[in-house]
């Protein structure tokens, strides 16, 4: 029994200590739904396989993309394992997004990639071509505002800024409208402009904020856009904030959706300078007291100069004498003797 246990232990140790084949392989796939619209991102996955270890670590290979473009959206790498021909393989999956901006056939041509590893001969792997049709959905009205998304939410916040404490919106106050759009499977640059200035009213448009929307693990799910527009009414009347409507394409249900935000009508009262407070301010004697104070100071200065007129006269004469002496020319003696004899 002991002999059998020792033999099994020795066999297992020999199997563990056997060197790996150091085989390398690579695979490529295009992850996309059945129907793809222009501007809808797809995923290209490149997986490096080895039965030992990676040296150097895998990097994204260079291959052409026809009728589309590779995006730089950061996607996390994944660790995979597989069994093939009785060999355990370890893999690193690299992903990038690819997108077509117009109706066409996105194509990844066939390519031969050469893999290298430290201390091993290079291995050439052939990758087959991949294709995907990209078609506009029916009912597209404005291709430049076409927004494909898996899910979309639209929110707004209207805030008033008052100069007084009575919470009354008056001419000269400000109204800020903030609209936030969140969408999945969308790039921030694809979201169109949502807020526009109202003709005839003064407004201030702030710089929109575009960012990626991430989940709890830090993975990018979509994009978020925040727009701010400040309305600056200058006259009494009404301020009408128009409703917002955004027509977008639901890539999951393959149908059109309409996101809406309600408008609002605000009443603008007259500015404070034209109300009763301005009349009260006009009756106040603040400016009269200022004028009286200035006259009293001037009279006191004149009285002080009258009593000190003799001293001021002497000081003036002394300053005039010093000024005349300072600017009077002073004759210098001749520096060259005149009675010198010539030798």
Q: Is the pLDDT of residue 133 over 60?
A: yes
pLDDT band at 159 (very low <50, low <70, confident <90, very high): very high
Condensed to tens digits (0 to 9), the pLDDT of residues 229-247 reads 999 888 888 888 999 999 9
Question: Is the pLDDT at 18 greater than 80, yes or no?
Answer: no
What is the arithmetic mean of pLDDT over 24-31? Answer: 92
Q: 46 pLDDT band (50/70/90 cuts)?
A: very high
The mean of the pLDDT values for the chain is: 83
Supply the pLDDT for residue 170: 87
Residue 43: band (very low, low, confident or very high) from pLDDT cuts 50, 70, 90: very high
Residue 173 has pLDDT above 50, yes or no: yes
SS3 169: coil
Which region among 44-48, 153-157, 288-292 has the lowest average model confidence (pLDDT)? 288-292
Residue 7 clears pLDDT 60, i.e. is over it: no
pLDDT value of residue 226: 96
DSSP 8-state code for residue 78? E
CA–CA distance, 144 with 252 (Å, rounded to integer): 21
pLDDT category, 55, cuts 50, 70, 90? Answer: confident
Residue 94 has pLDDT above 60, yes or no: yes
Cα(133)–Cα(282) distance, integer angstroms? 76
Contacts 24+ apart (CB under 8 A), 257-266: 257/152, 259/152, 259/153, 259/154, 259/181, 260/154, 261/154, 261/155, 261/156, 261/179, 264/158, 264/240, 265/238, 265/239, 265/240, 265/241, 266/160, 266/169, 266/175, 266/238, 266/239, 266/240, 266/241
More reliable by pLDDT, 157 or 87: 157
**For 271-297, what is the mean pLDDT?**
66
Cα–Cα dist 132/144, whole Å:
22
CB 196 within 8 A of CB 177: no
Torsion, CA 55, CA 58, CA 61, CA 67, rounded to 10: 170
Banded model confidence at residue 166, pLDDT cuts 50, 70, 90:
confident
Nearest to 149 by CA among 39, 44, 75: 39
Number of H helices, E strands in the chain: 4, 19
Average pLDDT (190-219) is 83
**Can you spell out the DSSP letters for 271-324?**
PGGGSHHHHHHHH--HHHHHHHHHHHHHHHHHHHHHHTHHHHHHHHHHHHHHHH
Average pLDDT of span 169-188: 91
Per-residue confidence (pLDDT) for residue 1, from 0 to 100: 46
């Amino acid at each position: 029994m002991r002999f059998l246990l020792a033999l099994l232990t020795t066999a297992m140790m020999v199997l563990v200590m056997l060197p790996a084949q150091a085989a390398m392989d690579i695979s490529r796939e295009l992850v996309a739904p059945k129907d793809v619209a222009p501007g809808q991102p797809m995923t290209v996955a490149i997986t490096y396989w080895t039965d030992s270890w990676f040296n150097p670590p895998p990097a994204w290979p260079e291959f052409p993309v026809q009728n589309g473009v590779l995006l730089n959206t950061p996607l996390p790498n994944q660790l995979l394992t597989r069994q093939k021909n009785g060999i355990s393989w370890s893999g690193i999956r690299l992903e990038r997004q690819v997108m077509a901006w117009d109706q066409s056939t996105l194509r990844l041509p066939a390519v031969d990639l050469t893999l290298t590893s430290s201390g091993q001969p290079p291995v050439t792997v052939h990758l087959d071509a991949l294709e995907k049709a990209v078609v506009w959905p029916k009912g597209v009205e404005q291709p430049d505002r076409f927004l494909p998304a898996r899910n979309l939410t639209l929110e707004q916040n209207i805030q008033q800024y008052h100069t007084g404490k009575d919470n009354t919106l008056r001419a000269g106050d400000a109204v800020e409208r903030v609209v936030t759009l969140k969408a999945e499977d969308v790039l921030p640059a694809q979201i169109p402009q949502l807020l526009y200035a109202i003709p005839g009213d003064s407004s201030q448009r702030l710089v929109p904020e575009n960012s990626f929307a991430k989940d709890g693990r830090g993975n990018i799910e979509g994009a978020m856009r925040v727009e701010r527009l400040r309305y600056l009414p200058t006259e009494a009347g009404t301020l009408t904030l128009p409703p917002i409507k955004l027509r977008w394409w639901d890539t999951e249900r393959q149908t059109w959706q309409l996101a809406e935000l309600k408008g609002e009508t605000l009443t603008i009262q007259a500015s404070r300078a034209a109300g009763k407070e301005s009349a009260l301010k006009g009756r106040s004697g603040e400016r009269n007291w200022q004028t009286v104070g200035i006259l009293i100071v001037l009279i006191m200065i004149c009285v002080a100069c009258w009593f000190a007129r003799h001293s001021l006269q002497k000081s003036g004469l002394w300053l005039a004498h010093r000024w005349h002496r300072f600017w009077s020319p002073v004759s210098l003696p001749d520096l060259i003797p005149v009675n010198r004899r010539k030798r």
